[in-house]
Structure 1
Amino acid sequence: MDVMDVEVAGRSPSQETRVLVHPVDRPTRLPPGHTNAVGLTLGLIGDEWNLLILRHALLGVRRYGEWRQELPISHAVLTRRLAFLTEMGVFERVEYRSGAKRFEYRLTKRGRDLWPTLLSVWAWESRWVPEHRESLPRMVHRSCGREFLPIPTCAACSRSVRPRDVVGGFGPSGTWERSVPAATTRRRSGSGADGGAGMFPETMALVGNRWSAAILGAAFQGLHRFRDFEQRLGAPPTIVADRLRVFCELGVFEQMPGADRPDWLSYHLTEKGRAFFPVTMTGITWGQRWFRAAEGPALVYTHRACGRDFQIQLTCDACTTPLRGHEIVARPPA
């Protein structure tokens, strides 16, 4: 498949990297040394407004006024998010009324391919954040007619997969520095039109901050000790301590005595933390499909059971068949 060139604006610690692409359904080619596919993906899914805009787009919303009706979002925030998603190649801005300069935002193939990540976020929040479960829609698999939960499986051998079933790590373009968004922090959920909608509060706590996302990724790669998080990520110790505290309060990490010295605490993923695996892997899969680094992939994984490159596939737990985006129906909460 052909790839297209990308124009990249200057990057600074307080300025988000902007990737300007034409709305065509071809992967974007990234220049050497640039933020890699993982960092670009986290910059997109680490913003709750982006996720909510995409959720409604997958349900058929295309026009500015329709998003304003559906979401408690200000004009300024919606304008910025639509511009960003268009620059990322997720939307194509198309004039729908000739001569009137009226535009709508149509999902590209790249944008439609984000459905597994949004579905995984919904499933995780529905299962592990019960205080707002009633506000989330019910998902029905059109093929079998039943409500379902998505099960992560290996696309090569169709077996169900847990985090420990996959081995791997950084590829040619993979470093911690290149795998986090340029912005120091991402917008968190909050109240009011500009603060956030609060639909996915704990997801944002995990991926809505560049250091949170990095620490979570490091945990999936096997890091456990405070010093390892600090040294590998190059993060200030106060930030590492704060993020570890938040993860423990959320029940994503648990503290355990160190293997060498009991007074040196280590941090391990809980069942809730491990359950975030599909969100992480669907995001990585999407990013590396649509953003190609000159040096090669950022992350490379192998499924232990079959020995082949791991690509995640979501399966319906009710009928055990692979899910397709057009076969998923969202229904109001019961």
Structure 2
Amino acid sequence: MHGDGPNALARAIGLLGDEWTLLLVRAALDGATRYSQFQAVLPISHAVLSQRLETLVSEGLMDRRQYQEHPPRSEYRLAPRGWSLWPVLIAIWSWERRMASTDPIRTPPMRHRVCGQEMTPSYRCRHCGQPVDARHLHVVWGPSGGWQRTVPGATTRRRSATSGAKVFYPSTMAVLGNRWSAAIVGAAFRGIRRFSDYQDVLGCPPSVLAERLTSLCEHDVLEPVASSDRADWSEYRLTRKGRALFPVIDMVVDWAQRWYVSDEGPVLERMHLVCGAPFRGELVCDQCGVGLHGPDIEVGEPD
């Protein structure tokens, strides 16, 4: 990937900003491999399921293997690229459960099999083991970075929350499910505040930017505050709920840069200000402090 095209992060957000991608990967992590098994656990139409499975195969998240010739039947198993999304899903689960408790579908609890306790993941630096949030990182654009290169070309059309169908990750989809919303939140984490600055760095049409900022404020991810420069100006800052998205955003960055490698170099370069090492985060159990691994996590029943 060279030049002015979408970079690794834009490609990842365009893919993960589809609720069905997340749900199909989650179902596969739970053991679903066949078409009928995916349909049994998800309220998904034949047409959408076929299209999404094809996308996941073409994007390298799943491998397809025919297990029956007459009639032809295939199974879909997670490839390493798809399997490695489990930390992103755990981070999303944690954020939805802690910060989006008013949503109509409650996220179920999770238990850590190693210690046997119901847990909430914590995020820490792999190098020094210290807890981390966005304030603890120094982040600069890498060789393939840049504001407008990081805006996805498009995100797959997702189900409408007003269509009567359940939306399983409603708050997450409000952020990742629209390319401009995802870009705005990313810019907010990089310190962008004013309407004009969002417009300048992202190249977003003013009417679209206004609508997206309003939506993010309605979802309590951003909040308008009076500008320190002019009383009649507003700035849009991350709320506590918005700041808590950091592990999700950071793990998407990490996943994107691992699996969509560019000859140019990374999109972002991150340094942990506490220990001075290049940053990579990891999820740990808040009960026992042990690093989390997919097979060690058990999903409970919804509250």
Aligned partner of 1:161 in structure 2 is: 132
Deviation string, structure 1 residues 282-307 (Cα, Å, up to 9, x no partner): 11111111111121101111111011
1:201 maps onto 2:167 in alignment = no
Distance in 1 separating the partners of 2:203 and 2:124: 33
TM-score, scaled to structure 2: 0.95
Q: Which structure 2 residues correspond to residues 212-227 of structure 1 after superposition, within 5 A?
A: 212-227=181-196
Q: Which structure 2 residues correspond to residues 166-177 of structure 1 after superposition, within 5 A?
A: 166-177=137-148
Deviation string, structure 1 residues 262-292 (Cα, Å, up to 9, x no partner): 2211111111000011110111111111111
Q: Secondary structure at the match of 1:293?
A: coil
The code of the aligned residue for 1:90 comes to L
Q: Secondary structure at the match of 2:102?
A: helix
Identity across matched positions, percent = 46
Aligned partner of 2:203 in structure 1 is: 234
Deviation (angstroms), 1:34? 3.5
Distance in 2 separating the partners of 1:188 and 1:226: 28
Deviation (angstroms), 1:170? 1.6
Query: In 2, are the aligned partners of 1:152 and 1:160 still within 8 Å (CA)?
Result: yes
Q: Secondary structure at the match of 1:68?
A: helix
Q: Secondary structure at the match of 1:66?
A: helix
Deviation string, structure 1 residues 235-273 (Cα, Å, up to 9, x no partner): 111111111111111111122111211221111111100
Query: In 1, are the aligned partners of 2:193 and 2:235 still within 8 Å (CA)?
Result: yes
TM-score, scaled to structure 1: 0.86
Q: Secondary structure at the match of 2:111?
A: strand
RMSD: 1.7
Aligned partner of 1:77 in structure 2 is: 48
Aligned partner of 1:22 in structure 2 is: none
1:91 maps onto 2:62 in alignment = yes
Query: In 2, are the aligned partners of 1:167 and 1:302 still within 8 Å (CA)?
Result: yes
Structure 2 unaligned spans of 5+: none
Matched positions, count: 303
Aligned partner of 1:290 in structure 2 is: 259
1:314 maps onto 2:251 in alignment = no
The code of the aligned residue for 1:264 comes to W
Aligned partner of 1:23 in structure 2 is: none
Deviation string, structure 1 residues 153-202 (Cα, Å, up to 9, x no partner): 1111111001111111321111222212212774254366xx86401111
Distance in 1 separating the partners of 2:234 and 2:68: 62
Query: In 1, are the aligned partners of 2:126 and 2:279 still within 8 Å (CA)?
Result: yes
Distance in 1 separating the partners of 2:138 and 2:272: 7
Deviation (angstroms), 1:99? 6.1
Deviation (angstroms), 1:104? 0.4
Distance in 2 separating the partners of 1:185 and 1:62: 23
Of the structure 1 ranges 97-106 and 206-215, higher mean CA displacement relative to structure 2 is found in 97-106
Q: Secondary structure at the match of 2:278?
A: coil
Aligned partner of 1:268 in structure 2 is: 237
Could you list the structure 1 runs, at least 4 aligned residues long, displaced by more than 6 angstroms after superposition. Answer: none
Aligned partner of 1:181 in structure 2 is: 152
